[in-house]
Structure 1
Amino acid sequence: MATRISKTPQSPTAKADKKRGDVLKAAGKCFRKTGFHQTSMQQICAETGLGPGAVYRYFTGKEAIIEAMVEDERRQARAMLLQMRDAESIQDALAMATRMFAERYRASGDAGLMTEVYAEGMRSKRTGAVLRRIEAEWVMGLTNILRVAQARGQLDASLDAAQTALFLTGMWDGMIIRQHFHAHDDPQALPAFFDNMIARLLARDGSKPETRSKAAGQPAADLLTGVEPAFVRPDTRQMSLI
């Protein structure tokens, strides 16, 4: 007699979370394809395979969907800051951020969706308010990481940590967009170049940090020790990507 294997039934909350996640994935697919304003709720419903009533049970409209996407970004940003905080050095922390940003947006193709969300935040006061809260949390968290590095003597103490956090964030945002338009190139080239340039710009006392070896794929020695290595000529092909 065959033994019937019973599946553990999902709780109502788990089912609702899954449905909600399905709607967000479908909406993201539609937004990437046609843009936020060109996408209708009917298109989102069709993509999910759910009726309008089911979709509106989780979200009141497109703006609510965008806000949910932003909140998901907030959770991921917090997780990234925690990993950066636990890194052994500021070099490792910043290199980790460069890699995580590059891999996440390259793998998911969400660079376009990111720009859609931020563009909507400039148009909508409601979405903009949510984005500003996330921006404030991210910049504050990154600023604190930089201040700890300054206190440890790993980073130039004369730098304004908050402004440096904004500068780094702007560089990472730019990298995400640029790598979308250079997807046919070596996927490691642009992140590696950004990683090296960030380390050079933030090196303590203006010393030149050792360049990461792209060929070997290994991280360089401590970029912020203040020891000046031999100058390594940058790869001009990588520079042309910016």
Structure 2
Amino acid sequence: MATRISKTPQSPTQKADKKRIEVLKAAGKCFRKTGFHQTSMQQICAETGLGPGAVYRYFTGKEAIIEAMVEEERRQARAMLLQMRDAASIQQALSTATRLFAERYRAGSDASLMTEVYAEGMRSKRVGTVLRKIEAEWIMGLSNLLRIAQARGQIDASLDAAQTALFLTGMWDGMVIRQHFHAHDDPQALPIFFETMIARLLAKDNKVAGKPLTTPPLENSLFAEELKKRAESEDLRQLSLI
């Protein structure tokens, strides 16, 4: 007689987490199709196959859903920083970041969802607040990596680390969007070119018209206050790479 193997029952918390993930996936699918503002909670409910009461049990509305998506972005950003920290050199770390960004958003739908989330962060104070915290945490972590590389003589010491981190992040964001419109090209060509340009940008002997590549102080940055707050928090100390 065959022995019946029973599955380990899921706890209420595990079931709730699974349902939340299902709702997030369904919402992401809807946002990709019609955009954040054109998507209704009714459409999200229909996509999940759940009733409104079940969906609202996990999220109070669309802003709460997009906040959860932003928190997932935060988790992935932290994971990327840790992966970069473990790289053998700053060049390898930045190469890793370039390839991770390219691979993650290579599908056009993922790039469109990213732009949708950030656009909502510009419209919604609530979503924007969460995005600014993530941005500050990412820039601080990347800046720390760059400062370590400068101390080791691996890159141009005259560069402002935080401004360089902002510039590199802007390049990666641009790559994510551009590769969507050049999907017919070699998928490796753009990331490889970016790696080359980043290496040239950060090179120790880089000069423009005989002057070092310097940048304005971070105090002029919109993120300066948030960066200061994050630097003082216990949560960010755990990410310190120095």
| Aligned mates of 2:108, 2:55 — CA distance in 1 | 23
Query: What is the match of residue 45 of structure 1?
Result: 45
Q: Residue deviations 1:46-89, cap 9 Å, x none?
A: 00011101100000000000000000000000010011111110
- Amino acid of the residue matched to residue 102 of structure 2? A
The reply on whether 1:170 has 2:170 as its aligned counterpart is yes
Q: CA deviation at 1:107?
A: 4.4
**Which residue number in structure 1 is paired with residue 62 of structure 2?**
62
> Are the aligned partners of 2:108 and 2:180 in contact in 1 as well (CA < 8 Å)?
no
Give the share of equivalent positions with the same residue, in percent: 87
RMSD: 1.1
Structure 1 letter corresponding to 2:122 = M
Residue in 2 aligned with 1:234? none
Partner of 2:25 in structure 1? Answer: 25
Q: What's 2:240 paired with? A: none
Question: What does 1:192-231 align with in structure 2 at a 5 Å threshold?
Answer: 192-206=192-206
For structure 2, which runs of at least 5 residues remain unmatched after alignment? 208-242
Cα distance between partner residues in 1 of 2:139 and 2:131? 12
The residue identity in structure 1 corresponding to 2:199 is A
Q: CA deviation at 1:108?
A: 7.3
Which amino acid is 2:153 matched to? G
| Relative contact order higher in (CA < 8 Å, ≥ 6 apart) | 2
TM-superposed deviation, 1:5: 1.3
Paired letter, 1:69: M
Residue 5 of structure 1 aligns to a residue whose secondary structure is: coil
Partner of 2:116: 116
Partners of 2:165 and 2:135 lie apart in 1 by: 11
Aligned position for 2:184: 184
Task: With the length of structure 1 as denominator, give the TM-score of the two structures.
Answer: 0.84
CA distance in 1, matches of 2:2, 2:15: 29
Q: CA deviation at 1:178?
A: 0.2
Give the number of aligned pairs.
207
1:97 Cα shift?
0.1
- Normalised to the residue count of structure 2, the TM-score between the two structures is 0.84
Letter in structure 2 aligned against 1:148: I
CA shift digits 1:138-173 (9 cap, x unpaired):
000000000000000001110000100000000000
Residues 200-224 of structure 1 show CA distances to partners (whole Å, capped at 9, x for unaligned) of 11111129xxxxxxxxxxxxxxxxx
User: Is there any run of 5+ residues in structure 1 with no aligned partner, and where?
Assistant: 208-242
Task: Please give the secondary structure, in 2, of the residue aligned with 1:109.
Answer: helix
Q: Is it true that 1:2 corresponds to 2:2 in the alignment?
A: yes
State the match for 1:79 in structure 2. 79
Measured in 2, the distance between the counterparts of 1:110 and 1:44 equals: 18
